[in-house]
Amino acid sequence: MSASHPDFDAGIAADLLERLRRTAPRVHCITNAVAQHFTANVLLALGAVPSMTIAPDEVAAFAAGADALLVNLGTLDDTRRDAIPKALEAAKAAGKPFVLDPVFVNRTPVRCSYAQDLLTASPTVLRANRDELAALYPGQDPLEALSRTSVTLAITGAEDLITGPGQTLRLANGHPLLARVTATGCAGGAVIAAFLAVSDDPVLAAAAALTVFNVAGEMAAERARGPGTLVPELLDALYLIDEVQIAGRLKRV
DSSP state of 66: S
Nearest to 39 by CA among 24, 25, 53, 29: 29
Nearest to 238 by CA among 12, 107, 43: 43
Using CB under 8 A as the binding rule, whether residue 27 contacts a copy of itself is answered as no
Using CB under 8 A as the binding rule, whether residue 65 contacts a copy of itself is answered as yes
Using CB under 8 A as the binding rule, whether residue 213 contacts a copy of itself is answered as no
Query: Residues near 231 by Cβ (< 8 Å), separated by ≥ 6?
Result: 38, 181
Sign of the C-alpha dihedral computed for residues 207, 209, 210 and 214 taken in this order: positive
Determine the Cα–Cα distance for residues 62 and 51; give it in Å rounded to an integer. Answer: 8
Binding string to a copy of itself for residues 76 to 105, with x set by CB under 8 A, is what? Answer: xxxx------------------------x-
Let me know: does 250 contact 9? Beta carbons within 8 Å. Answer: yes
Shortest distance, CB of residue 1 to a copy of itself, whole angstroms? 36
The distance of Cα 79 from the centroid of its chain, to the nearest Å, equals 22
Shortest distance, CB of residue 12 to a copy of itself, whole angstroms? 24
Using CB under 8 A as the binding rule, whether residue 244 contacts a copy of itself is answered as no
Using CB under 8 A as the binding rule, whether residue 48 contacts a copy of itself is answered as no
When the beta carbons of 43 and 133 are compared against a copy of itself, the nearer one is 43
Q: How many CB atoms lie within 10 A of CB 121?
A: 16
When the beta carbons of 31 and 152 are compared against a copy of itself, the nearer one is 31
Binding string to a copy of itself for residues 143 to 182, with x set by CB under 8 A, is what? Answer: ------------------------------------xxxx
Residues 105-124 that bind a copy of itself (CB under 8 A): 107-111
List the one residue from 10, 17, 20, 52 that touches a copy of itself (CB under 8 A).
52
Determine the Cα–Cα distance for residues 70 and 98; give it in Å rounded to an integer. Answer: 6
List the one residue from 236, 243, 249, 251 that touches a copy of itself (CB under 8 A).
236
CA distances from 195 to 14, 99, 111, 221 (A): 11, 11, 27, 23
Backbone angles phi, psi at 2, to 5 degrees: -70, 145
Using CB under 8 A as the binding rule, whether residue 229 contacts a copy of itself is answered as yes
Using CB under 8 A as the binding rule, whether residue 58 contacts a copy of itself is answered as yes
When the beta carbons of 43 and 207 are compared against a copy of itself, the nearer one is 43
Residues forming the site for a copy of itself (CB under 8 A): 32-38, 40-41, 44-45, 50-55, 57-58, 61-62, 65, 74-79, 104, 107-111, 179-183, 224-240
